[in-house]
Chains A and B, each alone.
Chain A
C-alpha cells in the first residue's frame, strides 16, 4: 500500500520582492490514516521550515485549514491522503487576501462581512434580568438556529462561488445563512425592512447566480441553498408587498429551494 506522494504546493511570499508565484514539489511516504495535516507538517518539519499554511484544531472544527485540494476547496485536516491520487496539488483559497503560500486572510473578510450584516442579536442587552428565568424557546427552533450557527467560517463556500470571484463586495452564501440565523431567532428584533437594507441587493441575495458551488463544498453540510432561497423569497415578497394580490404572495411564501425557478 505504502505510496510515495507527490505533493505540489503553491509558493509565493508577497512580502519578498524577489518571490514569484510558482509550484514546488515535495515527496513524502504515505502511511496509514495520514491526513494532509500530517503530510504538510512532515514537509515543514523535515523539508522546508518556511512553508506557510494554517492549522489549529486539526479536527475539522475550527475552519483554519481551508485550501484548494486538487481543484476543490476543502479542509486539509479532514482530508485523508488515501482518498486522493498520489499526485496532490494544493493552492490557497481564492477570493481571500493571500498571506503567503497556502495561508489566506479569512479573518478580515469574515469580520468585515459580520459588521456589514450586523451579525448580532439586535435586542436591548441591558434588559437582561439576572434574577429572572430565561425566556422560553421551542427546542426545534433552537436546533434550527444552531444548524446555521455551525458554520466554521472556513471560506470554502466563498472560494467556490462565481459571484464572489467576480465582485469583491459579494457577501457570499455564508453571510446570507448567517442573516437567516438571526431572521429565525425570535430574540432578534430586526424587521424585514432592516434585512432588506442589508442584503436586498446585488452584494446580497440578488447577486447569487444559484450555481450551487457553495453548498457542494461546505464541509459542515450547512443547507446554504435553502437559506438563500428563504431569504430571497422573504425579500422578494417584501419588495412586492402591496403590489401583488395576497393569494400570490401566500403561494410565494412556502419554503423551498431557490433553484425551482432556474
Chain B
C-alpha cells in the first residue's frame, strides 16, 4: 500500500479546505488536499448569491457593523448558535473579504451616483456616495438588517474558489483530485490521517498527517430533492462518525431553500429575492406580505420555506406532474439586470426549465439545501473526541448557524473559518509531533479493504445499494421534511433501523477491474443511512420548534428545555446513535428573544446572570488600553 505523508491533510478542496490549506502552506507546512473532483468543481463553485460581511459601503448598508451582523446571525439561528463563534465570525468577515480581494476576487464595486434598485417588486432610487466609489458593493439577502452580501455578479462561489485555488497553486499545496477518503486512521486518541480510494484506479492508499482537516461540505444527498451536487454525500462526516469517538452536532437542523426549481431541484439564488424578486401563487397573487408584513420574501429561509409550504397546503400552489409548486417572479428586474447580475439564473431557467425569466415565471418550491449540523468542533475548529482532527465549512458544526443559517453566511463561514481554524492548525502543528502507529494504519486499511471484498464476494442475502438509497430518499422526503411530527419521525426512525440492518448485505451487481463506480455508492450508503438516522432520531427527540426544525406537535420554541445542542455518537453495530446534549452557547451576548419574523411562541428560560455577560469583554478593552499606553 502506498503511503503519503504531509503535515496537514485537508480532506476536501472546496472553499473551506483550500482556505485552511493556504494558511498552513503560507506558514511553511507541507499540505495535501484530497478531493473527489478537481477542486474548482467543488460545490462551492455553485454558490451564486454572495457572502456576508459588514463592510457598509453600499448606501443600503450604511451604518452596518459587525455588531449588527452578529445580531442578525444570532436571530437567524433562532438562538441555537454558539455566540462566541458567531462573534468571531462577524468580526472577522470584513477582513477576509478584503483579503480575498487582495488575492484577486473581482468583487462588484460601488458606483457613485443614483441607481434604481428593487424591493418587493417595486423600484426605488438610491444614491451611492462618491467617497465609497470603487469599494466592495453589497446586495440584500434574507434575514439581514442591512445590505451586506458581497458578490461577483452571480458567480461568487466560482470567483472566490478560483482565487483560492490559484493561491494553492502559488503556495504549492499538493492537490490529489479523484481521491476519496473512506476512513480515518486513528489510535483511539489521535487522528493520524485517512485511508483513501483512488477514483482513477480503485487503489487504496494511506495518507498520514500530523493534523487532519475534514472540509467535505454538506450531506444533502440523503434527500432526493436537494440543491446539492451529486458528490455531497457526507463522506467526511461518515468517516468521523464511524470512529465512534467523534460526535455530530445538531444533525436535525436541515435547511430547506425556498427557491429550488421544479422539476430539476437546481437552485436559483436568493439574490433573486434580494434584488427584488417576488413569490406568487396559482392566482399570481403575491402572498408573502400577508404572512410576513415586515420582511415578506426576505424573512429568513426557514420562515419563507414554511410559509410557502403552508400556502401550498391551502391549495394555492400550482399543480404540476412533479407536485405542487409556486412561482418566482423576476420579470420586473428587466433584461439587463437578469442577463448580467442574474445571468446564471437566466442560463439555468433557459437551459433546464425551458423558461425565459425575462418574460416567464419560474416554477419553485422549497428544496433541501444546507446542513447546519455536522462534525462538532470547538471554537478553534478542533473536533471533539480525537486530537489532531479539525473540521471547517459546511461539514462542521462550528456552530455559528444554530438551527437556521442566513443566506450568504455559509460562503462567508468557509473563508472566515478557513482563516481562523487555519491559524489554529498552524499553532497545533508548531507544537506537536505524532507517532504513526503501524497497527492503526493496518486496522483502518483492513476495515475498508474487507468491506469492499465482502461486497464483491457475497453470495446469499443480497441487497442493492441503489434500492437502499431510493428507500432512504423516500423516507427522508416524506417523514423528515419542513414540517415534522412525532408519528412521521417515528416511522422514519423505524424504517432507517431496517435499512441500516439491510445495508450489511450490500452486494455489487457488476464487476469491473480497477475503478468501479458502483463501489463508490455501495461504500457510501451504510454511512449515509447513519447520517439520515442521526437527523431523523435527533428530530424525533427534539420536542420543540427552533429555526428550520419545525415540529407541528410542539410548535413552541422551548428555551426552558431545549436551549442546547444535540450531540450524536455512533457505536459500532448499532442502528441508532446515542444522543447527548450540551449548552448551545457558553454565554449570551444577546439573550434569547423574538426574531421579529416568523411568529411562533417561545417558552422562556431563566438564564443565570453570569451567562448574560461576555467574559473578558471589559478586560480586553482595558488590556488594549494598557498596551497602547505602554507602546
Contact = CB atoms under 8 A, between A and B. Distances in A.
Interface stretch (B169-177, B374-382, B431-439, B597-605): B169-177
A185 B510 CA distance: 51
A125 B155 contact: no
A15 B511 CA distance: 13
A13 B512 contact: yes
A49 B109 CA distance: 48
A60 B41 CA distance: 11
A156 to B, nearest CB: 14
A142 B107 contact: yes
A59 B99 contact: no
B30 interface: no
B331 interface: no
A125 B169 CA distance: 14
B515 interface: yes
A62 B229 contact: yes
B135 A49 contact: no
Chief secondary structure at chain A's binding surface: loop
Contact of A187 (B41, B104, B159, B508): B104
B435 to A, nearest CB: 33
Contacts of A62: 37, 40-43, 45-46, 229
A132 B98 CA distance: 9
A77 to B, nearest CB: 8
A107 interface: yes
Contact of A50 (B95, B200, B466, B512): B512
A78 interface: yes
Interface stretch (A147-155, A242-250, A254-262): A147-155
B352 A152 contact: no
A186 B598 CA distance: 46
Given A56-B229, A136-B109, A149 B354 contact: no
Interface in B100-120: 101-104, 106-111
A8 interface: no
B517 interface: yes
Contact of B99 (A61, A105, A130, A188): A130
A136 B95 CA distance: 15
B232 to A, nearest CB: 9
B266 interface: yes
Given A16-B514, A45-B466, A56 B134 contact: no
Interface centre among A13, A62, A136 (most CB of B within 10 A): A62
Interface stretch (B64-72, B207-215, B343-351, B577-585): B343-351
B169 A114 contact: yes
A139 B169 contact: no
Contact of B109 (A55, A110, A120, A142): A142
Contacts of B344: 61
Contacts of B170: 118, 120, 125
Contacts of A22: none
B413 to A, nearest CB: 18
B453 interface: no
A58 to B, nearest CB: 6
Interface string B169-208: 1100001011000000000000000000000111000000
B167 interface: yes
Contacts of A45: 466
A208 B503 CA distance: 54
A153 B41 CA distance: 9
A61 B136 contact: no
Contacts of A107: 37-38, 175, 177-178
Nearest to A139: B109
Interface centre among B42, B178, B202 (most CB of A within 10 A): B178
Contacts of A132: 98
A203 interface: no
A63 interface: yes
A172 interface: no
B110 A61 contact: no
5 contacts: A16-B513, A50-B510, A111-B175, A136-B134, A139-B110
Interface of B: 26, 37-38, 40-43, 45-46, 95, 97-99, 101-104, 106-111, 133-137, 152-153, 155, 158-159, 162-163, 166-167, 169-170, 175, 177-178, 200-202, 229-231, 263-264, 266-267, 321, 340, 344, 347-348, 351-354, 466, 508-518
* The 6 A-B residue pairs with the shortest CB-CB distance in the complex, in nearest-first order: A136-B134, A15-B514, A107-B38, A120-B166, A49-B518, A145-B106
Given A13-B512, A33-B354, A50-B511, 13 more contacts: A33-B264, A55-B230, A61-B158, A62-B43, A105-B200, A115-B169, A128-B102, A134-B135, A137-B107, A142-B108, A146-B152, A146-B153, A152-B45
